Chains A and B, each alone.
Chain A
Amino acid sequence: MRYAMAIDTKKCVGCGDCVVACQTENNVPIGYCRDWVVENVAGTYPQLEVEIRSERCNHCENSPCVRCCPTGASHIVEGGVVLVEHNKCIGCGACIESCPYDARYSHPDGYVDKCTFCLHRVQKGQDPACVSVCPTNCMYFGDLDNPNSDVSKMLATRKYKVLAPEAGTNPQIYYLT
């Protein structure tokens, strides 16, 4: 089993609903967020190209955050989901330094926190909160090992990219381009 997400940059309008849904679902402290929306503008006026991306932890297959964690608090569970065990985390910040995507933050309670792929929802057969609220339906979640999952079907038919592949992390959020 390999959980992954595909996000359609051609459909995303940058409304930020995924951010609010995550904050509500996961009780993210006020002023913090586990996912965010980036607007990337490239080109010379008037030939500008805009790409809008909803970003979060990439649940990297080769995850530097797990490698650098001195206590094993950062670990990988079913489906390749990268989690932090709060009571093992000492808040040393090594994983925050090691993430090329700045996907982690230090929770006001001391431990490090980040996206969990809403594993608590996924285990019940639901989609992650961000995926389920997206008004344009531009996010697809599922198991890459299952060719019939939403995410596998999208990746089979569309062109896609991942962020900073040169970082060697093998990220599992795919952006459909």
Chain B
Amino acid sequence: MKEELIVSGRMNPGIDPYLHIWHWQIPLYLFLGGLAAGILFFTALYYILGKEKELPTAVKWANFIAPAALVIGLFALFLDLKHKLFFWQLYTTIRLSSPMSWGAWTLMLITPLAFIWSASYLRELVPKWDWKLKILYDFEALVIKYRKPLAWAIIFLSIILGIYTGILLSAFNARPLWNTSLLGPLFLTSGLSTGAAVIMWMSKDHAERALFSKIDLILITAELFFIIHLFMGFLASTQVQINAAELFLGGEFTVTFWVFVIILGLVFPGILEILELRGYKVPVAVPAILILFGGLMFRFIMVEAGQITRYLY
């Protein structure tokens, strides 16, 4: 028997009886950040590859979702802060050892770029749109002229953003569930997959849809691969990480994780996409919504479960 009691009755809110200092805001922020990173990655990639004509949704239209997702995500992060009036302190320093810091800076850079990129396509989307001021027209022309370097900047920042959503958690060695370097690539893959799902959903063009369906399938496979590796790594590690894995292998998160994330969020939409590629009629919205839902659930479960895991002493 081993029993540990806090006999002086500690009941710090958010800390006791178990850690719960991060609520819905952080997983939502991680989801939207990953989604925006995914969309922007494909937008910039296919622009650089010169596929503006063949893949109009990816290059021109889907990117309108990204600035919105980033703004809502940043707002969610802001809601999470408990000393809100001092939030500007984030931008008085760059601390490389803190993922929260360089992530906040990445967002600060990529959000305006996402706005500028989308704005440069606004008049194609809404032909009647009038920028009113000449200076705005000049700016638009400038952006259009320099789209290529802009795309390079976006692709670079979107990868950082996608990885950051995972590293934010993996940097905390106090939470054994998060403390694995696989979380960075896993969250990046998941973010790219949600981005591809949105493009696939929005696309009207059959060839474009098929391409993103295939990309998504590859990403889903990679994600399943990472998840298996994650658990293998945990089970071969220290007691605290074995305990963390057990939360998902018989513990309290088993059903939510396997049903909502693995089956409904990855395997089932994967099967639907294969069927669609084989020529069966599947409404494209169904796999897309399932993937988005799975990605969101994944982040909620990881944040929630990670906070319960801890060192034993």
B136 within 8 A of partner (CB): no
Number of A-B contacts (CB under 8 A): 161
Partner of A89, one of B21, B83, B97, B311: B83
* A105 B81 Cβ-Cβ under 8 A: no
* Chain B residues near A (Cβ < 8 Å): 1-16, 19, 21-22, 80-87, 89-90, 92-93, 95, 97-101, 104, 171-175, 238, 307, 310-313
> B97 — which chain A residues lie within 8 A by C-beta?
67-68
* Contact residues, A89-147 vs B (CB, 8 A): 89-94, 96-102, 104-106, 109-111
Partner of B15, one of A19, A72, A105: A105
A6 within 8 A of partner (CB): no
Cα–Cα distance between A136 and B97 once the two chains are bound (Å): 42
Q: Bin the interface of chain A by size.
A: 35 or more
Chain B, interface SS category = loop
Give min CB distance, A129 to chain B, whole Å.
15
* A93 B2 Cβ-Cβ under 8 A: no
* A96 B89 Cβ-Cβ under 8 A: no
* A100 B7 Cβ-Cβ under 8 A: no
* B19 A71 Cβ-Cβ under 8 A: no
Closest residue on chain A to residue B101 by CB atoms: A70
* B84 A110 Cβ-Cβ under 8 A: yes
A83 within 8 A of partner (CB): no
* A64 B174 Cβ-Cβ under 8 A: yes
Cα–Cα distance between A111 and B89 once the two chains are bound (Å): 13
* A68 B98 Cβ-Cβ under 8 A: yes
Give min CB distance, A36 to chain B, whole Å.
4
Cα–Cα distance between A163 and B174 once the two chains are bound (Å): 13
* A71 B21 Cβ-Cβ under 8 A: no
Known contacts A41-B2, A98-B172; is A33 also within 8 Å of B13 by CB? no
> A111 — which chain B residues lie within 8 A by C-beta?
82-83, 86
Cα–Cα distance between A40 and B4 once the two chains are bound (Å): 4
Cα–Cα distance between A37 and B5 once the two chains are bound (Å): 8
* B87 A90 Cβ-Cβ under 8 A: yes
- A-B residue pairs, 9 tightest by C-beta: A91-B82, A91-B83, A110-B83, A70-B101, A70-B100, A100-B174, A105-B12, A36-B10, A37-B8
Cα–Cα distance between A86 and B14 once the two chains are bound (Å): 19
Closest residue on chain B to residue A19 by CB atoms: B8
> A2 — which chain B residues lie within 8 A by C-beta?
none
Partner of B5, one of A38, A96, A164: A38
* A33 B12 Cβ-Cβ under 8 A: yes
* A168 B2 Cβ-Cβ under 8 A: no
Cα–Cα distance between A45 and B87 once the two chains are bound (Å): 53
The 30 sampled A-B contact pairs (Cβ below 8 Å) are A14-B7, A31-B13, A33-B10, A37-B7, A38-B4, A38-B5, A39-B4, A40-B5, A41-B3, A41-B4, A64-B174, A68-B171, A70-B98, A89-B86, A91-B82, A96-B15, A97-B172, A98-B174, A102-B12, A102-B15, A104-B15, A105-B13, A106-B21, A106-B82, A110-B85, A111-B82, A111-B86, A164-B312, A167-B173, A167-B311
